[in-house]
Amino acid sequence: MKSFFANVWTKRVVSVLSVVYTYFVFRLCYLSIFYNITVHERTSLCLALSGLSLAAIIIMLYTRKQIITRICSFLILPMMLPVVLLYFGEWGMIIPIIVVGIVILLLSGAGEGVKTALATMILLGYIFAALGYFMFTSFFVASTQEEEIGSGVSPSGDYRYRIVNTVDSADGCTSIYVEPNTADIKNAFATFRLKNLERAVYTTRPSVEKIDVSWETQTRQDITKYYNSISDRIEVTLTDEELKDLGYTYDNKLMLTNLSASRKFALNKTASDVDPVPIDQLNQEQLDFFGIAKDAEGRYYVKDPSPELIKKNGSEPGDRLYFNEMKPRALKYFNNRNVDPPTGITYFNVQKSHTVMLNTLTDEQLAKLGVSDKGDVMTVVIHTDSHKPSDEEEEEQQSEEEASEEETPEGAEENSEQEQPEGEENTEAEPEKKDEKPAEKQDDTTVKKVVFRYYVAELEDYYNVDSRKLSIALLNS
């Protein structure tokens, strides 16, 4: 038996278990960056991790001279740095792993010079990272006093919400936050919640103490019908892939934007007309005026590109400079050249539009874009003696009754500026049912309002639970 454990191949096979423990530490590092943690059983978690770490350190010491174990011993402490900073205070989880990292680094089979150099770099990394992190959180993150006065889950279980009162120098505010309820990672000891997915769907000032929340289920068809009854100018922003799936090409989404008054006159428009203007709507004379040409296949290109533009794009002289093949820096150069030098007024820009009118989308296309057949809609009733509708709010309600005011869902581009009730902000900014007002006055002290629809959340991709992007915002959570 002694010869078996002394055999080098036995140690090489056992050293693979070091990779398993290191992967566990890497996984914890990943979770600390992108997830917030809520520990349910601190004692049980500490005992479980202590046992696992004890087994890991025995295995690593037994195989400390194997190359796999050496590499693992160098990785554990650096990977624990985000965990220490972002899960600071969860010592029952942090300390057992840190102890393993320190012991195996000091007792690994690497040379003393290598261990000394690595230990020094890791220690300095911890010191400077901790100093930078705590300075950032102390000086650049606003400290506010918040009190959660309500929370719950939607009927389908897809969303959860919380109502928060924030104390500040302006009489405070009350906000309602909604986030997906399906992106959590749960185990017997803790729950990991994905960061930065909360969206404030309603905010009002001053703060209120009583808000009643109700949920109902509405169908995609009914919501679409309602939106289209409010306005035929509601735009939806889509990705390149979604536009392609719906049959749009790059060229039929090309637009003239930032048009000066003189360029609008050339298109038989007035100075007050709103751009952008689809290039597809231009006739040959107008295309020539803007220096744009169109081939037999319906593709647009620069009619007479300058040598500098050709150079920026990396094209050969004489080649056609198609807009869909133009490099971003070349398109930027092209747009920057369309400026009046004395005044700095931009004549026009050419860019691809990513919006389509909601009323042009069929129910099948909406389903293809990811809008479920039915889902959750949140309505709130705010009880407050201090909430009095302003003149702007009353005008907005009257306009809604006449269905003459244009509105767009959150994330879509609006074609007219919306008025907001004084002292109140609806960050969801979506239209209500046709037989409802967006801020319906129930009596002198209550206001009823729809603040969240699953339809908008899915169409505008509020909650992309598959996206993982490193950003400073992750440090604020």
At residue 257, the 3 state secondary structure works out as strand
Cα–Cα distance for residue pair 29/354, rounded to 1 Å = 37
pLDDT at 137: 83
Higher pLDDT: 75 or 443? It is 75
Question: Which of 58-72, 138-152, 460-474 has the lowest average pLDDT?
Answer: 138-152
Higher pLDDT: 309 or 112? It is 309
pLDDT at 422: 41
pLDDT at 311: 93
Q: Is the previous residue joined to 328 through a cis bond, with omega within 30 degrees of 0?
A: no
pLDDT at 111: 83
Structure tokens belonging to residue 430:
């979506």
Contact 234, 359 (CB under 8 A): yes
Contact 178, 198 (CB under 8 A): yes
Percent of the chain past pLDDT 90, that is, above it, reads: 66
pLDDT at 192: 96
Which pLDDT band, with edges at 50, 70 and 90, does 404 fall under?
very low
At residue 211, the 3 state secondary structure works out as strand
> CA 143, 88, 147: angle at the middle one, nearest 5?
35
pLDDT at 168: 78
Higher pLDDT: 424 or 133? It is 133
The per-residue b/e assignment along 361-372, b for 16 or more CB within 10 angstroms, e otherwise, is: beeeebeebebe
Q: In whole angstroms, how large is the CA radius of gyration of the chain?
A: 30
pLDDT tens, residue by residue, 323-346 = 999 999 999 999 999 998 888 899
Closest CA to 379 of 343, 430, 417, 424: 430
To 10 degrees, the CA torsion angle through 418, 422, 424, 427?
A: 20
pLDDT at 440: 57
pLDDT at 418: 38
pLDDT at 400 over 50: no
Which pLDDT band, with edges at 50, 70 and 90, does 408 fall under?
very low
Percent of the chain past pLDDT 70, that is, above it, reads: 86
Which pLDDT band, with edges at 50, 70 and 90, does 207 fall under?
confident
C-alpha torsion sign, points 310, 312, 316, 321 = negative
Instruction: Please give the mean pLDDT across all residues of the chain.
Output: 86
Which pLDDT band, with edges at 50, 70 and 90, does 171 fall under?
confident
Contact 194, 184 (CB under 8 A): yes
User: Widest CA span of the chain, in angstroms?
Assistant: 94
pLDDT at 392 over 50: no
Which pLDDT band, with edges at 50, 70 and 90, does 467 fall under?
confident
Q: Which residues contact 243 (CB under 8 A, 6 or more apart)?
A: 253, 354, 356
Reported as type and span, the H/E element at residue 357 is strand 355-357
pLDDT at 439: 56
Cα–Cα distance for residue pair 262/249, rounded to 1 Å = 29
Closest CA to 435 of 463, 406, 397: 397
Average pLDDT over residues 21-43: 95
Average pLDDT over residues 271-280: 89
Average pLDDT over residues 123-127: 95
pLDDT at 426: 46
Strand ranges, E, within 54-133: none
Question: Which of 87-101, 203-217, 269-283, 392-406 has the lowest average pLDDT?
Answer: 392-406
pLDDT at 416 over 50: no
Average pLDDT over residues 288-293: 94
